[in-house]
Amino acid sequence: MDTPAPPPDQAPITAQVTVTGAEAALLRDLAAVTGRSPQDLALQYAAGALVLPPADRAPVEWAVFDDGPADLAGRSEELLHGLGGAA
């Protein structure tokens, strides 16, 4: 007995995406930090649901993962005041 094919709106969808270069490196880093798979992020990137920063403004250059200066806690009021955050 043959199994009938599913209706067109229920047929499985298979997608394959290849990301290379700086974008691939950034997606791998993002996957490591978020605990998601690089493949999942690549699909979202290809679909336009995930926007990456320009290569010349990579997150590593933003010091996203930097804990800050050793005296950050001691200077927080001074630093916030300089930004207009504390009175």
Q: Where do the structural domains in the chain lie, given as residue ranges?
A: 15-82
Q: Among 18-32, 41-55, 62-76, whose mean pLDDT is lowest?
A: 62-76
pLDDT at 86: 46
The pTM score is 0.54
SS3 39: helix
Q: How far apart are CA 58 and CA 56, in angstroms?
A: 6
Please check whether residue 27 is in contact with residue 38, taking contact to mean a CB–CB distance below 8 angstroms: yes
Rounded CA separation 72/81 (Å)? 13
Contact 27, 42 (CB under 8 A): yes
Distances (CA, A) of 53 to 34, 49, 66, 78, 79: 17, 13, 18, 30, 26
